[in-house]
Homo-oligomer: A and B are copies of this chain.
Amino acid sequence: MSASSDIQAQALQAREAARAIAQLPTSAKDALLRAMAQALEDDAAAILAANARDIEAAAAKGVGSAMQDRLRLDDKRLRGVADALREVADLPDPVGQVTRAYDRPNGIHVERVRVPLGVIAMIYEARPNVTADAAALCLKAGNAVILRGGSEAIHSNTAIAASLKRALREAGLPEAVVTLVEDLRRETILELIQLNDIIDLVIPRGGEGLIRFVAEHARVPVIKHYKGVCHQYVDSPASLDLALDLLVDGKVSRPAACNSLETLLVHADVAAGFLPRAAQALRARGVELRGDARSRALVPDMAEASEDDYAAEYLDLILAVRVVDGLEQAIAHVQRYASDHTEVIVTEDAAHAARFVQALRSAVVMVNASSRFSDGGELGLGAEIGISTTRLHSYGPMGLEALTVERFVVHGEGQVRHPDLL
């Protein structure tokens, strides 16, 4: 059998298995997730040994220490992965939820009911915990999952998937509910993302190159998360103390996260009172500032920001800065450079806040709160499988609900549309 038909055969098995998981009651899914957590803990020795092989290979290839650290599992991290599965078990089950119910004038009773999507393919890089996390979220929402992780974590991913499959087997469920693609060639991804009669959704997570490759070649629907070029606009009037807190939290608390700030916009009326303080606080925490002429006039030794700086997702301790004439110029700047992820306004004027929210199309807009809350857990979704920056199906942080769709269930007593025909 060719490699080509291998992946298709795997996908077809996943589709069969999707029927089994779709019909499982909540209690059985939750028991399965807890058994999977236990299996990961029971198999810790094998998983950590496999992980050591990945780390060794990474070191031999000269992979940097930050990347090696992202790849590394130890007892504590593995317990964290297992606990995350237990937390998913504790979340409410979206499947079967009736989101609306109503009677029509002819007496038919209409319900909108959440059902699983079917088969979800995850294509991701680096961190092996995604293998367990993504599988757990897909299963809890009643879906089968096809996982294609990166080559750098192949041994860890294979060991984790083996534990998950053992739990499936012991629960009497088809192993194909969780499929790990071990054939890592790019042609295999290509074939996978074109199986549009078998796979219902593909979610790529990783660098922009991976996401663009998937988006350009997929025939399966894709939910993309390109990047987060997040803005904070400090309006006038605004509490500058509050603005400073949000700025430090948004830039410094985890610069490599997509919901961290990349650009600060400041109303000209408060710039003199705010920018020197902000610069001092940020520089004290290692942040480099790059600004326009008006910012640089207020802050000594600030580098000049280029057009590229305003479009950049630094993911690092760098912040682009610009002084604007007011709300409308801030909105125009964000409209031009935003990646539709998360924007923040700091203001004491409710009408300004409303205008900012309405004028911008980003997935998440914060009024007087940190950009770092743009996260499934922080927004109360329980867990997060990704953050969508495309406005179809799901927009912004995606939780369990985003792995389902609403359908129609209708109950009648023999109603017909054209009684005259009978």
In contact, A392 and B392 (Cβ under 8 angstroms): yes
- CB contact list, A103-140 vs B, under 8 A: 104, 108, 110, 115, 117-118
Q: Does A253 belong to the interface (CB within 8 Å)?
A: yes
Q: A392 and B405: CB pair below 8 A?
A: yes
Q: Which residues of B contact A378 (CB under 8 A)?
A: 104, 417
Query: Once bound together, how far apart are the Cα atoms of A416 and B378, in whole Å?
Result: 11
A379 interface residue per 8 A CB criterion: yes
Q: Which residues of B contact A294 (CB under 8 A)?
A: none
Copies of this chain present in the complex amount to 2
Number of interface residues of A (CB under 8 A): 74
Of A160-168, A213-221, A312-320, the one touching chain B: A213-221
Interface status of A422 (Cβ within 8 A of chain B):
yes
Complex CA gap A317/B359 in Å reads 52
User: How long is the Cα–Cα vector from A414 to B115 in the complex, in angstroms?
Assistant: 38
Given A359-B23, A369-B108, A373-B108, A393:B415 Cβ within 8 A: no
CB distance from A141 to the nearest CB of B (A): 12
Indicate if the CB atoms of A408 and B379 lie closer than 8 Å. Answer: yes
- The yes or no answer to A349 lying at the interface (CB within 8 A) is no
Say which residue of B115, B359, B395 sits within 8 Å of A407 (CB atoms). B395
Residues of B near A396 (CB, < 8 A) are 407-408
- Shortest beta-carbon distance, A367 to chain B, in Å? 5
- Indicate if the CB atoms of B219 and A221 lie closer than 8 Å: no
CB-defined contacts of A406 to chain B, threshold 8 Å: 395
Whether, in the assembled complex, A64 has its beta carbon less than 8 Å from a beta carbon of chain B, the answer is: no
Q: Which of A46-54, A55-63, A72-80, A240-248 contacts B (4 or more CB under 8 A)?
A: A240-248
Q: Is A361 an interface residue (CB 8 A)?
A: yes
CA–CA, A246 to B418, complex, Å? 10
Q: How far apart sit A379 and B105, CA to CA, in the bound complex (Å)?
A: 10
B201 and A392 contact, CB distance less than 8 A: yes
A380-B110, A405-B391 are known contacts. Are A373 and B414 too (CB-CB below 8 A)?
Answer: no
